[in-house]
Structure 1
Amino acid sequence: MPCRFCTTNDTEALIEELAAKMWASCETVDEWTDWTREWEKAGPYWQGMFRNYARVFLNAAQRDHQHDG
């Protein structure tokens, strides 16, 4: 199966999906943190930060994969 990171036709949709999954992995039951919210309620600041993290991750993964082949 081809690498989804390398073969995506919609990079922004993949970044959005990665960001949402990264956000979900940070969820906690502590009611005093921002991570108690769903991705849709994370707000523009956190969504922007996690999209940037996802973009950096995707770029790094694509670079690493190019060097493997």
Structure 2
Amino acid sequence: KFYLTNNASHIKIALNTATREELLSIPYFNDYLVDALIEQRTLRDGFKSWDKVLLTSRFPEEKLALIQLYLTLD
């Protein structure tokens, strides 16, 4: 058996304001992807939807649901 608890200490990182180091702490992210996300974020003046995030080169679309556990667009 295992139990899930509501861990109030888990805070999502805001993709639109996160530093490079914060983004590198996200599972499934590497140097290339983080640099591409920051570039696209700058060009778009922030991400307004996850659809725009998915347009980033080499973004692991199949992992989006897991990545959303760590990130927010707020």
Q: What TM-score results when the alignment is normalised by the length of structure 1?
A: 0.31
Q: Which has the higher contact order (CA 8 A, sep 6+)?
A: 2
Of Structure 1 and Structure 2, which has the larger fraction of its residues in strand? 2
Q: State the structure with more CA Rg.
A: 1
Of Structure 1 and Structure 2, which has the larger fraction of its residues in helix? 1
